[in-house]
Chains A and B, each alone.
Chain A
Amino acid sequence: MVPLSYYLLLSGILFVCGVLGFLIKRNIITIFMSIELMLNGVNLSFVAFAAHWHALSGQVFVFFVMVVAAAEAAVGLAIIIAVYRTRETLNVDQVNLLKL
């Protein structure tokens, strides 16, 4: 039986990787993948706790997160395509019209 702390540690590492990727990367696709990474880091902690406490609610919640992530992926990829078509770039630093 793998101890809970291992899962949580891995979950934290995954989440931090996601945050760092989100902050550092410039490619929209990569940033998008970083967001997925954060979500899945959180998912891991949910299922770990669910298994630890023998409670189903954590696992159920993971399904919700997956559904939302899937919807987000559909919308997000559509936006990315639209951005690429108009701006002809995927570099977020060049997509900066929304400012004063």
Chain B
Amino acid sequence: MNIKSKPPRLARRILQWFCDERVLEFLQGDLEELYFIRLKRYGKFKSAFHYFLDVFSAIRPFAFKQSRSNSNIAMLKNYFLTSVRNFARNKRYFLTNLTGLTIGLTCFSLIAFYIINELSYDRFHLDSDRIYRVSNVAVINGEENRDAPASAPLASVLLEEYPAVEQAVRIVESDPVLLEESGRKFIEDGLLYVDPSFFRVFNFPLIDGTAGTVLEHPRSLILTESYAKKYFGGVNPIGKEIAVDTDSLFYIVTGIIADPVANSHIQFDMLASLSTLPDVDKGNNWIASHAHTYLILNNKVAIEEIEKDMRSIFYKYMAPQIEYYTGASIGEWEAAGNWVGYELFPLEDIHLKSDFAKELTPTGNLSYMYIYGVIGLIILCIAIFNYVNMATAHSATRAREVGVRKVMGSTWSMLIRQFIFESILLTLSAGILTCLLSYTLMPSFQVILQKQLAFGILSSFWGPTALLILSVFVGILAGSYPALVLSRFHPVWAMKGTSSSSNTTGWLRNSLVVIQFAASIVIIIVTLVVYNQIDYMLTKNLGFDKNQVLVIRRPDALGNHLEVFKKEIKSIANVQDVAHTKTLPGKGYDIRSYRPESRSETFLFPNNLVGYKYLDVMDLELVAGRFFEEEHKLADIHNVVLNETAVAALGFENPVGQKLTSPWHMGEPITIIGVIKDYHVESLHQPIVPVSLELITDNSSQYIIVKLSSSQNVREMIEQVDELWADYTNDHPFQYFFYDEEYEKLYHNETATANIFMVLASLSILIACLGLIGLVSFNISTRRKEVGIRKVLGASTAALVWLLSNGMIRTTVIATLVSWPVGYFSINYWLQNFSERTVINPWSFIVSTIIVLVVGAAAISFQTIRASLSNPIESLRQE
């Protein structure tokens, strides 16, 4: 028998807790026997789940402990009855508390699920703790380049020369490709080329096909389940042919794979064998790096040592190629401060901790997890404080009950138990509501996050179980202080109804309200600044104009018709300018090396290949010289345009006319013909970098960009472009986007954060206000006589409203004093993520306080105004 697979301990504890010894032995024996029968049949998870069910099914009178059961069960019954009666008598009190706790718990559990989901990335592979990704890290011209992919030939060298490397697999991302299957055409950008060892390193389950052979031959294609459906419907796709782009041979479907789970950083729609691309697979290019290389290392290996040792790979294989391209010896090159090394990065850390560029999927951010976690806790605390406040405020109504119980012989600990039981009852109901709410809200939550989650609350029995445990925990936490207060009542005072509890607990209630308000203000401040920063990033002058730019993808489909097509588009009414380009800011730039003619230093600049009107379409500003022009067609092939930062790096005072050499021009000298103002080629997370622009001469353009003169009639214009496209490309799929919308996706993490904060901010105010209303109405009820007397003596309604609500203003002022510094420091922490930061506007702080003040005042106004308007006879006639 396997000792590890015992029935879940929690369930066994529960069983032992309620079950009488006379029954326990036989019942537990039967349960265990059933557990092991199921273990063989269904596996660990399901049998554990059934064990829980079985234990719960046994909660029946026959099993209860006999000796104590009479008094214990009867007592519980009595507690239950009193609690329910108390809730029924104070419906508003009950509902306010239930709402507050449910909102708090729901926020907390949704956030917890999100965080757990982010932390679970890539842990589903069997060897996930031994899988490392190897990446090139380079310092070139004083700038550090950290790219996730490595050189393609690296994997086989590592496998051969390093015994610690057990397995290696390369993943090469494909550009968007055109797929054609029985006349239907699709452009796909979810294709990855992988080595056959893919299935030995990772555990993506194959649904059809054998892992050993599916990727054996070139042009083998594995479709995900949903893509098999997309292309072939219900027909078995194995052995079917698909034409891929310009490849003269068909790809053959060899397998079907389950859609990759959401918590995998490797996402794909289809996989093809890497041997399809012989240049990459068997090539010997060490300079270009686009193979994401993953290794399984054996356990006993020191990462730093391998990394250090791999420097020899650099000298042996890469250095000669660097010498070839730069023309300098590797000694000189390194003396100039350049450096290339390798870094091994653990697979499980990639999603949250990677600082590499060119990851397969956008990474998360660990600091955001902390922020979310803290905010989730804060909201839960606000909800707990709420309960503590309301329960202590209401304690006076229970005083008589406590008195009677004490007189009847109830001990202090029994009373504590009763009131904690009551609060657990409340939090458990909130927990059950939370369970339902989290389940129904999950889809909207994913919309707010702009992200798919791998699991939700009901994906495994751990979700509800954890939630119930959390509810009980919250119940104990929230219930202990009120229980303490209540149980301390002196029976004589309590019976006489002269309890002084509201005075002794007043300072605590007030400080809890202050904390709630302060937390709300902090969350609002953070929300406002997050929105400010996003607005700043989206509206900041990037050095180019991204508005009213239509981008058409894959113009290579036009072949020789590119120029004609552009001319036709230019003649459409609404079009100002048209250009084609290799890439766009935010879409990743290639690197090219340059060398001033008279010097031996080499400079590497991010480079883009552009067409003639690129400057006009992007609205870049020319500082000196000229841009590429059609009339200088031939000369411009060997000309280059640089930005100001690149010129500064080269150290030219008069850059225009200076000559450079570059390996991409085969030793032909190239001339700087123009200088453009700096612009951002990445999101504003990154600083400005040097950029070189060269004329595009081949068919490698990825985009046609079209500048519109107005935002009117855009739809007709697109229809016209679509028709032209269909004519010139022989019905290729037409794909376009608007550049500003696409650019916003770079700030996906931030917009998601802003959305979540917005929701959390509103909810935190809501819960805080619920508590406030409860407190104020309680306050008013204790001061009714005072209000009546004041009124009789001639106090005006306004004065009375002021009397009843000025406490809230005091609370807000103190909360403001606490929250502003806290808000300032937290927002500063978040802004460290950006290289271009918005100025923290003092208005964000003032507005937050005003919002809380106004919402709070509005919330209590109904109560205070009603109390002030009430007829004094009502409150005074009692005596």
**A and B co-occur in one complex:** no
